[in-house]
């Protein structure tokens, strides 16, 4: 099993992450770390198994050189492609972009992704086939005060009309893909289209290098469960394009005072994802006080995926994407 979507920072404590890795038998994992720290994490191999097994891991830079988005348009257009060279020289295996998260777009003066400023950057990524994880958008509930969770609200993820909306960003990324159809890009969290699998399927059909992953939010699993047959058909058809991920470490990083990684919350994330993919038929998902902390018991309709499909999602697809 390869967890292709974790976040790492000093506050999480490497020993706790190693415990999770070994307890669940992860063969490899892909860590998103801030670009300033990526080199240190990669070469010190802080996250290697204590047993010495499966030391291989992948590092995605998360974050840019400070001040890039305050540059003039001309200088920014020149600087963005140079950041690719800096990160690859550092030893990163790919780039994690958080620029598509609405609160990040509001905090920094980030140009629209189909703006000419980005053109050379996308062109370089496409030509060199550098893998990119790009967080674009957020659950639609984050714009609805009656539905947004308390956790999301505390994290600053309740949005009003002053934030970029999902449709604007879908339009921008569709234009980017039209210009650069060979981009090797993965949109995590089912591209926040788990309620509209037909729309995601259309993107997959048109752009063969686009991938996604099953990393929670929990709403992703609610949405897939509510359309069980459509979800099973989607996983069967696109079984080569879906990767595994948990977002372990993400919650610890949003607090004003960094806190250590919660082993219990990490276990909760893993069990949420694997149970839904593996269990056939109905089961009850109950709040556990760790990851699933809000809401009531919910009837879930597990997908019961075949061992062949699970192997691709858990292992093979990430290696193909990164290669």
CA–CA gap between residue 157 and residue 219 (Å, rounded): 15
Write down the pLDDT at residue 27. 63
| Per-residue tokens: 62 | 């998360």
Per-residue pLDDT of the chain (323 residues; tens, 9 = 90+): 888 898 776 666 667 777 777 777 776 656 665 545 444 444 344 444 333 333 334 555 445 555 778 888 899 999 899 988 888 887 778 888 989 999 988 888 899 999 999 999 999 999 999 999 999 999 988 888 888 887 778 777 889 899 999 999 999 999 999 999 999 999 999 999 999 999 999 999 999 999 999 999 999 999 999 999 999 999 999 999 999 999 988 876 666 556 777 888 889 999 999 999 999 999 999 999 888 877 789 999 999 999 999 999 999 999 999 88
Write down the pLDDT at residue 24. 72
| Per-residue tokens: 223 | 């949405």
Alpha helices in the chain (DSSP H): 14-23, 35-44, 73-90, 102-107, 119-128, 150-154, 166-179, 197-206, 218-226, 228-237, 263-278, 307-311, 317-322
CA–CA gap between residue 9 and residue 36 (Å, rounded): 11
Task: Tell me which DSSP letter residue 69 carries.
Answer: G
Long-range contacts (CB closer than 8 Å, 24 or more residues apart) made by 72-79: 73/111, 73/117, 76/111, 76/117, 77/116, 77/117, 77/118, 77/119, 77/120, 78/120
The reply to whether CATH 1.10.10 applies to domain 61-241+261-322 is no
């Amino acid at each position: 099993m390869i967890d292709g979507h974790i976040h790492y920072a000093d506050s999480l404590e490497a020993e706790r992450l190693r415990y999770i890795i070994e307890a669940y038998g992860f063969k490899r994992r892909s860590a998103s770390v801030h670009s300033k720290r990526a080199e240190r994490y990669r070469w010190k191999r802080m996250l290697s198994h204590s047993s010495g097994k499966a030391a291989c891991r992948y590092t995605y830079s998360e974050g840019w050189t400070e001040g890039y988005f305050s540059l003039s348009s001309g200088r920014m257009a020149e600087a963005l492609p140079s950041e690719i060279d800096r990160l690859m020289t550092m030893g990163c295996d790919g780039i994690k972009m958080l620029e598509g998260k609405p609160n990040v777009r509001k905090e920094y003066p980030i140009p629209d992704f189909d703006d000419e400023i980005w053109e050379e950057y996308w062109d370089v990524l496409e030509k060199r086939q550098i893998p990119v994880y790009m967080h674009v958008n957020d659950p639609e509930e984050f714009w609805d005060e009656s539905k947004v969770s308390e956790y999301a609200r505390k994290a600053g993820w309740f949005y009003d009309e002053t934030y970029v909306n999902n449709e604007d960003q879908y339009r921008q990324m569709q234009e980017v893909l039209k210009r650069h159809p060979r981009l090797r890009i993965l949109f995590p969290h089912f591209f926040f289209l788990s309620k509209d699998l037909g729309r995601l399927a259309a993107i997959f059909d048109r752009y063969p290098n686009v991938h996604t992953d099953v990393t929670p939010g929990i709403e992703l699993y609610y949405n897939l469960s509510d359309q069980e047959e459509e979800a099973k058909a989607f996983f069967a058809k696109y079984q080569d394009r879906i990767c595994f991920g948990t977002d372990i470490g993400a919650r610890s990083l949003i607090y004003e005072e960094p806190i250590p990684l919660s082993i219990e919350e990490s276990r909760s994330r893993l069990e949420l994802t694997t149970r839904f993919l593996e269990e056939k038929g109905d089961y009850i998902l109950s709040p556990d006080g760790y990851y699933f902390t809000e809401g009531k018991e919910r009837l879930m309709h597990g997908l019961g995926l075949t061992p062949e499909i699970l192997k691709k999602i858990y292992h093979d697809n990430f290696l193909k994407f990164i290669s």
